[in-house]
Amino acid sequence: MELNILTVCYLIASVTFILGLKMLSNPASARTGNLVAAAGMTIAIAGTIFLYEEDGQRLHNYAWIFSGIAIGGIVGTFAAKKVKMTAMPEMVSMFNGMGGACAALISLIEFGHIHDMSAEPTGKLFIIFAGLIIGSVSFAGSMVAWGKLNGSVKDHSFNGQHIVNLLLFFASVAVAAWITIALPANAHMMVYAVLALALLYGVFFVLPIGGADMPVVISLLNSFTGVAAAFGGFLYDNKVMLTGGILVGAAGTLLTILMCKAMNRSLANVLIGSFGGGATATAGGAKAQGSVREISLSDASVLMSYAHRVYIVPGYGLAVAQAQHVCHELEKLLESKGVEVKYAIHPVAGRMPGHMNVLLAEADVPYEKLMEMEQANDEFPNTDVVLILGANDVVNPAAKTDPSSPIYGMPILDVELAKNVIVNKRSMKPGYAGIENELFFSKKTSMLFGDAKKVLQDLVSEIKNL
């Protein structure tokens, strides 16, 4: 009877996962979708704790289980509530890594439970190793991605890294295959070699990929973790783990491809293209010369207050400075003076697709003011001032003109079509892709150096005093 109830629990949970994902892909129902999936997850977890039986045996170690869930739950809630909007992408990467590590640990423990390997079916060993390798790669990769996004890990590549990566991967698979086939006596030690090789591969897989491409990598690792969870489902013949895992594996893979499309690049280009990055960056740096023109705060405020139409292009700089609220204030102030103010949102502005929308929505900027790239590009020729706030690569004309540029082919915001461009940056340092931006040297462009929040506050007070 109880096992039948558990089956129903799992069935409900599987349906909520599918429904949840479906609702998450529509702006109107997204939040409810998330809650639906969370409710299903709660049912599945509670059912497992209280109803699961194996060979007529209930689970034990309840004290361990509950304290583990309590610790994870409290820390997870706290971390997720406290994290700043700017650090969301890192947080997702971190949580994803936790899931990968969890899958790897399950495999590790299940392997430890095997006493007589020759008595086990080959399929079971295969499943355990698949979960171990994929989970470890996902964990190590996510941690590197996390480090890159918060700036503690730098891009790093060396000649022949492709080959080293491939060797690491094949070595870990080979050791696993050897254990499965040859059943060596010291298998319980060898399994740690598989673990170490897979972790190392995860690190080297992500290390050379540019920070700007981290969202794509996180999405890919996200689907890896899904597959690792599905292997856990195989192992326990657990349908909810299987459906949940495969669902995320498939949806995550598609999402990764959609993200690449938004940047007009292929997945292979994102994963491998990074290697040429170092060389072209220096080439681009040598080429971009000339002088930049600075503009004073009062000139900038006069220019904007007497403009007809102003476009604001937000980027990561805005997010870092937490300047979304004062940005909205500036927008309202200009509107009160009869200036039409809109935002041009590049699909990959910030560190993640949709990053800017979330941020500006937080500051109560109305939806209708957020223009997508195509609309904005149509309106730039009739725009007097474009104010760029800490965006760089998404307005870099090199994406159109320079085939050797790492971002070549990415659609950009054609801000050069506007009459004036004011760029707010903290310094002349290149953006995340590490390349110079010719736009800054253009005759139409003037620079307004400083922290986005500070500059916007000063602009607001200047305009008020006009």
Partner 1 sequence: MESFFNWITVNQQIIYIVILMIFVGIEVIGHVPSVLHTPLMSGANAIHGVVIIGAIIVMGKAEGDNYLALGLGFLAVVLGTLNVVGGFVVTDRMLEMFRKKKKQ
Q: Which residues are catalytic, by number?
A: 393
Q: Cβ(413)–Cβ(376) under 8 Å?
A: yes
Letters for 200-229 (x = contact with partner 1 by CB under 8 A, - = none) are ---------------x--xx--xx-xx-xx
Is 375 a residue that touches partner 1 (CB under 8 A)? no
Is 68 a residue that touches partner 1 (CB under 8 A)? yes
The sheet with strand 370-372 has its strands ordered as: 370-372, 340-345, 309-314, 385-389, 420-425, 445-449
Q: How many residues of this chain bind partner 1 (CB under 8 A)?
A: 114
Instruction: Please tell me the distance from the alpha carbon of residue 36 to that of residue 19, in angstroms, as a whole number.
Output: 8
Question: Per CB under 8 A, which of residues 417..446 are in contact with partner 1?
Answer: none
Q: What is the nearest approach in angstroms of partner 1 to the Cβ of residue 157?
A: 25
Q: Nearer Cβ to partner 1, position 32 or 298?
A: 32
Q: Which two tokens stand for residue 141?
A: 């990769």
Instruction: Please tell me the distance from the alpha carbon of residue 277 to that of residue 213, in angstroms, as a whole number.
Output: 12
Is 399 a residue that touches partner 1 (CB under 8 A)? no
- Interacting span for partner 1 (CB under 8 A) from 16-24, 146-154, 158-166, 306-314: 16-24
Question: Per CB under 8 A, which of residues 338..367 are in contact with partner 1?
Answer: 347, 352-355, 357-358, 361-362, 364, 366-367
Letters for 80-99 (x = contact with partner 1 by CB under 8 A, - = none) are xx-x----xx-xx-xxx-xx
The region, left, alpha or beta by phi > 0 then psi within -120 to 50, assigned to residue 350 is: left
Q: What is the nearest approach in angstroms of partner 1 to the Cβ of residue 374?
A: 12
Q: What is the nearest approach in angstroms of partner 1 to the Cβ of residue 130?
A: 13
* Binder of partner 1 out of 2, 5, 8, 79 (CB under 8 A): 79
Direct distance between the N- and C-terminal alpha carbons of the chain, in angstroms, rounded to an integer: 77
Could you count the other beta carbons within 10 Å of the beta carbon of residue 385? 23
Sign of the Cα torsion 411, 415, 418, 419 reads negative
Question: Per CB under 8 A, which of residues 225..284 are in contact with partner 1?
Answer: 225-226, 228-230, 232-252, 254-255, 258-259, 262
Q: What is the nearest approach in angstroms of partner 1 to the Cβ of residue 421?
A: 24
Instruction: Please tell me the distance from the alpha carbon of residue 266 to that of residue 261, in angstroms, as a whole number.
Output: 7
CA distances from residue 345 to 80, 350, 367, 391 in whole angstroms, order as listed: 26, 10, 11, 10
Estimate to the nearest angstrom the gap between the alpha carbon of 200 and the chain centroid: 21
Q: What is the nearest approach in angstroms of partner 1 to the Cβ of residue 85?
A: 8
Letters for 19-58 (x = contact with partner 1 by CB under 8 A, - = none) are -xxx-xxxxx-xx-xxx-xx--x--xx--xx--x-x--xx
Q: Nearer Cβ to partner 1, position 99 or 406?
A: 99
Q: What is the nearest approach in angstroms of partner 1 to the Cβ of residue 205?
A: 18
Residue 45 CB burial class (10 angstroms; 0-12, 13-18, ≥19): middle
